[in-house]
Amino acid sequence: MATPILEVTNLAKFFPIQSQGIFSRVKGDNKAVNGISFTLNAGETLGLVGESGCGKSTAGRTILKLYEPTSGTIKFEGEDITSYSASKMKPLRTKMQMIFQDPYSSLNPRHTIGSIIAASYEIQKITPENGVKRAVQDLMERVGLNPEHYNRYPHEFSGGQRQRIGIARALALKPKFIVCDEPVSALDVSIQAQVINLLDDLRDDFGLSYLFIAHDLSVVQHISQRVAVMYLGKIMELAPTEELYKNPHHPYTKALLSAIPIPDPILERKREQIILSGDIPNPVNPPTGCVFNTRCWKAQEKCRTTEPVIMQIGASQVACHFPD
């Protein structure tokens, strides 16, 4: 098999919590991402799901080196970029891009759409064949925007249109890999489908690979080939999409899947929902052993003392002592 486009091994990102004052010292670490490993093949979409605060966005940003990784390695096209400096990363940035969650905060309100998209060329000092304006307008057309709106400001667009602008910006440098950080969770349900379909089309047209971060399992199901379930900075289960939805092995995956409503009232009434008790623990002091043990109905003594190793069950990788 060819080299995967992205290979992440034991990646961790801790945010130090400092006391105030001149002689500030580190009081602890927020272990946002705590040792995750996965690979992403060219042309593939890997879904990354989990509750709010489980570290999925941090993982996406750390992979793009927007955050400095604490430990672990990131290999992009076989090249170890973990300790690359900003200047060494710059040429690679044309190959890896990001689409953001909030279409309002991701576009600078003081710049026109044209200059927002053209900034990609400006920063990387690339001159497209037919000139910048033409390239930008082609991109706008491709993502379903009216190219005549080139000189308009972000406030004149709706959430869905703004997200398209963000997509056009990410596409401008013709990247191979895009981190989609909850690209549709801020949009109306009707617009969500359009943006998902657009991302789907673009993946085929441009030969993109996505790391698709979401908290909505049904969105991920549609677009991903494989799905990784994250909880408190760790991957609980990673499996091909179909396998994960049909045959979940990890109790946390089961709980998440049982929360998806069924659009059929009769079936919906029969749906058995697993309600997890308690809150997601503080990532500064994660539980010992399996991080999920405080909320797991299967938890036993072993879960509180020993951290489960990832094991292969069929096509799935599961981090649990008592998988189904």
All residues at 6 or more sequence positions from 155 whose CB lies less than 8 Å from its CB, including other chains: 109
Give me the least distance between CB of 37 and another protein, in Å please: 23
- The smaller minimum CB distance to another protein, of residues 192 and 317, is found at 192
Distance CA 66, CA 177 (A): 15
Chain residues in the site for another protein (CB under 8 A) = 22, 61, 64, 66, 86, 89-91, 93-94, 96-98, 100-102, 105-112, 119-120, 123-124, 144, 146, 148-149, 151-153, 155-156, 158, 160-161, 164, 166, 169, 173, 191, 194
Give me the least distance between CB of 132 and another protein, in Å please: 14
All residues at 6 or more sequence positions from 92 whose CB lies less than 8 Å from its CB, including other chains: 76, 79, 81, 84
CB 313 within 8 A of CB 300: no
Distance CA 106, CA 99 (A): 9
Give me the least distance between CB of 231 and another protein, in Å please: 25
CB 273 within 8 A of CB 230: no
- The smaller minimum CB distance to another protein, of residues 53 and 323, is found at 53
- The smaller minimum CB distance to another protein, of residues 25 and 110, is found at 110
CB 252 within 8 A of CB 296: yes
Give me the least distance between CB of 5 and another protein, in Å please: 17
Give me the least distance between CB of 115 and another protein, in Å please: 9
CB 49 within 8 A of CB 214: yes
- The smaller minimum CB distance to another protein, of residues 80 and 122, is found at 122
- The smaller minimum CB distance to another protein, of residues 148 and 272, is found at 148
